[in-house]
A and B are shown apart, each in its own frame.
Chain A
Amino acid sequence: MKKKHSGRYFLNILPLPLKTLRVMKLSVLLTCMLSVNMMASVYSQNARFDLDIKDQSVRDVLKIIENESQFRFFYNDDFTDLNKTLTFTAADQSIDDLMSLVLENTAVSYKLLDNNFIVITPNTSLQQRKITGTVTDAKTGNPLPGVTIVIEGTTKGFITDAFGKYSIDISDNNPVLVFSFVGYVNQRIPVGGQSVINVPLAINLQELQEVVVTALGMSKESKKLGFSVTQVNGADLAMTKQINPVNSLQGKVAGLQIDQGAAGPFGSTRIVIRGNSTLSTNNQPIFVVDGVIVENDVVTGGRDFGNDLANLNSEDFESISVLKGSAAAALYGSRAINGVILITTKKGVKSDGIGVDFSQSLMVYDPYKGPKFQNEYGGGTVGAFFTDTRDPNYLPTQQWTTKVFPIDPLTNEPYIDCQINREGENWGPKFANQKVRNYDGTWTEYKAVPNNFLDAFQKGMLNTTNFAFQGATDRTTFRFSYTREDQQGIVKESGLLKNGFNLRATHQLTKWLSADVSTDYTTTDITNPQNLTSNDPFSGNSFGHAFTWVIPRNYDTKYWSQPDKYISSFGGTPQPYTNPLETNKVPVSLFWFGLYENKVTQENNSLRGRFSLDAKLTDWADLILEGNLNNVYSQYEDKERGQNIGFAGGSYTRNDSRKLNTFGKWMLNFTNIKIIDALKFNGFVGGETQSTTKSYTQGSTSGGLLIPDNYFVSNSILTPSVIGGTTYNKKINSLYSTADLEFRNQLFLTGTWRGDWSSALTYKDGTGNNFYNYPSLSLAWIFTETFKLPKVITFGKLRANYAALGKDTDPFILNPGYLFEGKAVGQTGDPSQATFSSTSTLAANIKPERKIAKEVGMEMRFLNSRIGFDLSVYRDNTYDQIIDISTPVESGVTGLKINAGNIQNTGIELTLDGTPIQTADFRWNSKLTYSRNKNLIVSLGEGRNEYSLGGDAGFSSSWAVVGQSYGVIRSMYGMEKYTDATNPSDPNIGLPILNWRNDARAAFPKRSNVWNTMGNINAKFRAGWSNDVSYKNWSLNVLFDAKIGGDMSLESYRCGTHSGVLANTLFGRDASHGGITWTSKYDGITYDDGIIVNGVFAQGQTITQPDGTSANVGGMTFKQAYDAGLVEPTHAPQYYYRYASWSTGTADFSVVENSWISLRQVALSYTLPKKICSRMKMTAVTLSLIGRDLCYLYNTLPLNFNPVSYNTNQTSAAGEDGFLPMIRTLGGSVKISF
């Protein structure tokens, strides 16, 4: 075994010396080093060394000599020269010769003592000297002024002068100088014995030479890519401490649209790349973690448990690549039609210390701002007419009078209107600390509780702990990490606990075969997440809804949300309406009861396992084999406590579900094949098979719990219901290949092809258009390599690509049948029921969808790469979408599934980056991203011009309209505008037509009841501005992001206007708020809440006058009729109530522009100096302070509504239906490496 191993020493002792050496060693052992062996020097002097050293440090070489001979070294371990690496071969050399070799080019010398001790000392002659030199551009030879020079391991910094010259006094023995300059590659130069060091700096094409991970996990140099990929460093994301990793990408990538939902920090987030390309409600990209596809499902309404992305741990991310264009994503096949977010996890690296990373962070969620409520008037009803049941104890003379308390006729005491069995309204008396009976009969002072909305929340907390152990040898790397996230929600009783274990190991099995194995096991326990929507004030638990619809401004949240207030003394919730003995008549008790007494949990167990084998077949060919599986088990439990007397009622549901995704792949990879000298070829062919199944079983009680407060399925009054089945089953087999051609390092051409066979496009009889394939072609040309361009241009690249993508549909769609609907329980014999499995029908021969994507881009860097830009312009068209074209219900089907349509997205993405300031200690990097996407519906199905996308919010829904775009907000409840064909010059034309109600004596805008366009969900543009500032060991990141343009339907704004809790309902309520004071001729009562309604009466409108006659006001504006004495002012409460009610309100005012600029992040971190670290036996310590979602610098929503309030993460979401406060996150973290 004389084989030499690279990097390993082999001490070869020649036959004779070998023997002597052995004797020597023996003697050392015998004397146990207690006495000085007099013979030693003699032996030692004779010792001959045969040494083969490769890449070993001086220190190591000395140890080798110590181990294998009796020489012992004395030296100061701080000598930096001992770290110098050596490579040499010594044959039959004496110790003196050997030492000269070892210490050559170091600043130390040695002395051999008699007792075989060798003392190593610094060369005194080299101490305290001056190093001078000139720094130049390596290419041009021009001197570079302003170059920073730092002595490594210190904070000492110097700068070159105007002529590129520098001069440094050094006292270290053998310091290392680091030369750095913006746009150039850092140079690290050990001084050694030199005193003049002239340094040529090479231009840094680092960003351009950056290696990015592209489709199928292939690493490529970004400069060679013909498509746009944005890679984000995993550490940047981990730093943001977001439970949902999607949120941390916000503002970082041009072309990425991210909108958080209303469910708060662990809810789902909507993410769209380059606009909506299909008419489906889910246009979100797929997430691929080390080759394992993780679903990004949509969550609509109800409690938002997040989706599978919540099971990912950003602490384990090495990098995230956003594959934006179709050419980039083409190799992922049909699932990538909306783009790919590619996550690569960390693997072990060889570390200086023992390889332990520890980080701990604490983030506090601060719900800091709600919408602008009014705080002048409290709870009370709008009047006697045309509303829900009014409290009987308003006086008969108070039919139109608001702002009064009902009086208890028995005690003559005023009480706050309990608004039993009705929505809560806020047209009660003005707050003046009046003494009044409260909802529970106690005396209270009648006053506003301005913070009652925020009082419903608490500060949330996220505690993240991450441990990682890692290490590497020449053949093996491993990394194990454990992440724990413990979140306490901003809502009491809600929270999340996540434990994630991740292990990744790579091993070089033989020289030609390596393995990469990883596994990730994450458990996520979520308790009581937020409801995205709720329309039911009596049982829902959406805060936004409760506080705009049923909770008045005098409602003391802290008081009424206590258990003894929301639980009736009879058990269950207070039921003032159905139980006459109930003394507590507080409204909305059910809200708190539902929030605190019910427990809804979901526990996800996510297991991802993956292996990959890479066999090097020849120098130019690899065979890669890979398999993985992703298994998510979820257990959902819903424990609803009984709300009736004695806690009767209640329910329990348990649902166990499983998602299983398996994947296998082979790939033959060809690298660096030289075709001719100037032309290189890379490429691969491969194939894969993937299958996904989802199934569930659910049992729930029916008709209430037999024994209250006991939660199990058989504790059911009626027969429990049991359902279950397979909800998803799909298999896709694929073949693919790519070819990369590289010409003279300046032209790069990549072609890819993929073919998919999808089970989802297969009919029951085995037929179907289930094969589809898609090619892509991309070209990159580094023209700065081709032409000699002015010096100011550092780098320039043009790129262009073309790709086709295909897409299948959901499983089972093609094979409908009949579905059992469950039994008609209660009918004799509980007969079975069945109906169609689908309400829509299918066109024949459904074929795959097709997307054609074209993109050109340009990347340039200037001034030695100090500034640069990256511009992409693209156009995507999606054809033949498999959509349910809606059909009139009278046809017996709600839709017809066909291949139809052409949706076009055209857009521009621009990234600008630069380093405006750079000094020795200070550096400011700035990056601006901008993206603009225009969506156009070129066509839908034949004869179709409009398509409902769902995404409803309030009165509005979103539509695709030919000639317009995906996400046109439409409503049937827009105001009807006045027209007059006979008098086109009538100035009243265009004003809202008014409805009039004689009983309420109120006018309000009339609904048109025809579909009208109210807005468009698409933003005009999005932008992000990221700034990184570093000063010595400090660094600061400040990130802004913005969405400009795009509308949103605010359902809660409507509710709060209807109920009178929002600040916009103050106008007209009394004289001091602009209300008209008048004495009504109808009843002789003087009111001060009159308003003149904007609008015009329809032709023929008559108004009953106080004397009983009827006056025609048709064609007159309200003002004109008022001036003519034909109408009295409308009571403001009646106006707002009707203007925004569900039954008569109009949609116009609640569809509003949603533009914002957010201070998304401020993060400050400090890295402890190396010296301090090593004193603490650590290799690195970083402390950070982080603030996320800090504030909105600009927000166009009215009354400070929260832009982060979408009621679904469907891409067609039109708006909000219940909001949370604005939540900012503040916290800190410490990261330690050993």
Chain B
Amino acid sequence: MKKNIIFIILATFTILFSNSCTKDFENINVDPSIVSDVDVRFLFTSSSEKLQTVRVNEWTWEDLEQFLRVSQLLTAQTYELSGAVNTRYNYFYTYILPNLFEMRRLISTKADKEKYQKISAATYIVQIFQGLRVTDVNGSIPYTEANQGRNSAIYNPVYDNQKTLFDTWLKELDSSIQILESSLADQVSFGNNDIFYKGDWTKWIKLANSLKLRIAARYQNPDQTKAAQIFNEVMTDATGPISSIDDQMTYNNPNYMPFATTGYMIDYRSVRYGVETVVDYMKSTGDPRLGIYYSKNDLVGSFQDTLTKYGKTLPAWCNLGDPLIMYQGGPADFQSNPDKSTYFSNQFDAGGANRFWLISPINRTFFAPQINNGTGKFVDVLVSYAEVCLHISEFIEKGYGSGYGTSKEWYDKGVHASATTMNNIAVVAKSTTVDNISAKIDTYLTNPKVVLDGTNNLEKIYIQELLNFYRQGNEAFTLVRRTGYPKFGSTLLAREVMSETLYRRFWLTDPGEVNRANFNAAMSEEGFTPSDQSLASLSSQRIWFDINSPDFGNGN
């Protein structure tokens, strides 16, 4: 009996243990939710979405606290540049480039790879769109050797200087445009996986050309000839740049709330106010965007009766005869004019229980439709038709090319496009809107301070570019850097002197021992002190496109 039982036990366990020591290991060690074959279009959507995710950080820490303030489109307390800025840099390498590179790699291994040529071409446009934004504030960055860790074991990519970047991108854009413009049969479409254009290749071509205009704008100070050459390429291209509001690169997702679900982040750390120079310019020119951009102060309704009743007199800068008295800006330097800046944080005592806010904040609903339980939605136009028109106007005005119409035509188109787009955004945001805006723009364009009549043409174009970049801090900051406009003492829109030292770029952090040599080489090529985040360095050590630029406010 003992033998039998032992035999049975042994037999049972022999069966249990008789499998090979590695049986089924190759299946056990695979996560069922990880696939080895993926629709490349899914990768594209992921990268495209991340272009916007990073903007959540930028809105608060860069646009509101830094760029729009330094560009004097709004005024607020001074905040130091902190580690919260420049998130775009890591995003670019972590979330945007890897998928796009992988798409192209996967496509190159496909048997039917010729069907994916256009999809492949579009990937460059996305990466250049973001790459441009990264170099705009950082100068030299890895690109030509970037993202080669996974497949080529390059972990120390060289930092390309900005000229190399621009030239590489121009080549890549040209190549993409060429592929997208050719009539290739049987191309796989992005469909809804293209969140910007739903697979409309023409619009991608227009975007690529518009990005070339952005590069041209940056090329002007280092190399005007090159800028002109790019401009002419774009204007003579079969498809050309963005040519209507419908072509704009727009991120439009009702669930996107960059200022948090209640919109409270719009006032995070500080309420932002209109700047007196801009508000006064818009008031004096009858700019229909005034109410879209800024909110009214408390000088509305029967405020005059109250003042009379209590015998109160408003500060001198509030002119009772001004029909637009409800729009008042404050000093761009938050502390520069204590008599006025006190009203940023204090109300005017109008007698009795009446207290009036005198300075207009930015229109919070326009930026954060959810504020005050609002139900509007946020629309982000990333590359606008207005920008394109105004760039063309600027380049024609500068004589870079001819035969494309007059600078005034493009200027007028641009101002129309800008106001219409801003109004459209306001409609969706359920913010302040303007009726018959087109007619109002027509009138506006006849105002002597606005009309492109040969006096101060370039300045007027710059001013419109600036006003159009009210929701694009990075572009506004680039504009004021490359042009030196608005300029001090202007009779149109003057820049106000700010007492703080103003940076002209961000900084890159030490990449660690693996790539420190390349990093230091790039920093030294640019004349940057590595890891130095002091304003002294950030203001004096400029990136390539900015080296020949005038100082802030010193445009000519």
Contact = CB atoms under 8 A, between A and B. Distances in A.
A836 B102 contact: yes
Contact of B198 (A387, A390, A828, A945): A828
Interface in A153-195: none
A670 B83 CA distance: 66
Interface string B484-500: 00000000000000011
Contacts of B512: 886, 888, 946
A824 B49 contact: yes
B36 A817 contact: yes
Interface string B29-48: 11111111011011101100
Interface stretch (B73-81, B207-215, B220-228, B288-296): B73-81
Contacts of A945: 513
A389 B270 contact: yes
Contacts of A946: 512-513
Contact of A815 (B22, B31, B253, B536): B31
A407 B515 CA distance: 57
A577 B265 CA distance: 11
B25 A388 contact: no
Nearest to B52: A824
Contact of B346 (A396, A645, A890, A943): A396
B34 A812 contact: yes
A764 B25 CA distance: 8
B25 A731 contact: yes
A657 to B, nearest CB: 15
A1147 interface: no
A831 interface: yes
Given A421-B264, A834-B43, A510 B2 contact: yes
A890 B31 contact: no
A762 B39 contact: no
A687 B17 contact: yes
Interface in B483-540: 499-500, 509-515, 531-533, 536
A763 interface: yes
Interface in B186-212: 191-193, 195, 198
A1207 B449 CA distance: 61
A787 interface: no
A891 B157 contact: yes
Contacts of B101: 892
Given A513-B5, A839-B94, A829 B155 contact: no
A815 B28 CA distance: 11
Interface string B336-354: 0010001001110100010
Chain A facing B: main interface SS: loop
A512 B9 CA distance: 14
A892 B80 contact: no
A841 interface: yes
A730 B30 CA distance: 10
User: Which of A811, A825, A830, A831 has most B Cβ within 10 Å?
Assistant: A831
B34 A893 contact: no
Contacts of B536: 1100
A395 B497 CA distance: 26
A892 B514 contact: no
A578 B82 contact: no
Contact of B21 (A733, A820, A836, A1100): A733
Given A389-B267, A818-B35, A836-B98, A762 B46 contact: no
B271 interface: yes
Contacts of A839: 94, 98
Contacts of A644: 262, 373
Interface in B3-34: 5-6, 9-10, 13, 16-17, 19, 21-22, 24-26, 28-34
Contacts of B253: 824, 826-827
Contacts of A770: 22, 25
B300 interface: no
B335 interface: yes
B93 interface: yes
Contacts of B141: 890
Contact of B31 (A410, A837, A886): A837
Contacts of B509: 972, 1009
Given A828-B198, A831-B193, A386 B79 contact: yes
Contacts of A442: none
Nearest to A409: B355
A140 interface: no
User: Which of B19, B150, B268, B531 has most A Cβ within 10 Å?
Assistant: B150
Given A762-B22, A762-B29, A811-B29, A1143 B16 contact: no
Contacts of B142: 890
A888 B192 contact: no
A422 interface: yes
Nearest to B26: A766
Contacts of B5: 513, 615
Nearest to B345: A392
B33 A891 contact: no
B405 interface: no
Contact of A888 (B26, B82, B157): B157
Nearest to A1010: B531
User: Which of A757, A770, A827, A832 has most B Cβ within 10 Å?
Assistant: A827
A617 B254 contact: no
B156 interface: yes
Contacts of A886: 512
Nearest to B269: A388
Contacts of A1009: 509, 531-533
Contacts of B97: 892
B99 interface: yes
Contacts of B371: 578
Interface in A755-787: 757-760, 762-766, 768, 770-771
B338 to A, nearest CB: 7
A820 B31 contact: no
A860 interface: no
A952 to B, nearest CB: 13
Nearest to B143: A890
A40 B28 CA distance: 81
A890 B262 CA distance: 35
Given A389-B271, A832-B45, A891-B147, A766 B25 contact: yes
B355 A623 contact: no
B45 A892 contact: no
User: Which of A625, A731, A834 has most B Cβ within 10 Å?
Assistant: A834
A615 B49 contact: no
B148 interface: yes
A1193 interface: no
Interface in B256-313: 256, 261-264, 267-271
Nearest to A891: B149
Interface string B81-115: 01110000010011101110110000000000000
13 contacts: A386-B78, A394-B345, A613-B9, A623-B10, A666-B17, A817-B31, A819-B34, A828-B195, A831-B192, A834-B46, A888-B512, A891-B156, A893-B150
Interface of B: 2, 5-6, 9-10, 13, 16-17, 19, 21-22, 24-26, 28-36, 38-39, 41-43, 45-46, 49, 77-80, 82-84, 90, 93-95, 97-99, 101-102, 141-142, 146-150, 154-157, 191-193, 195, 198, 253-256, 261-264, 267-271, 335, 338, 342, 345-347, 349, 353, 355, 371-373, 499-500, 509-515, 531-533, 536
Interface of A: 384-390, 392-396, 409-410, 421-422, 510, 512-513, 575, 577-578, 613, 615, 617, 623, 625, 644-645, 649, 664, 666, 687, 689, 691, 703, 718, 725-727, 729-731, 733, 757-760, 762-766, 768, 770-771, 811-812, 814-821, 824-837, 839, 841, 886-894, 896, 943-946, 972, 998-999, 1007, 1009-1011, 1100, 1104, 1142-1144
Minimum-distance CB pairs A-B, first 6: A891-B149, A892-B147, A829-B192, A834-B42, A826-B255, A762-B25
Given A733-B19, A763-B26, A766-B26, 12 more contacts: A394-B345, A421-B264, A510-B2, A615-B5, A703-B255, A727-B31, A815-B31, A818-B34, A818-B43, A831-B195, A835-B43, A888-B511
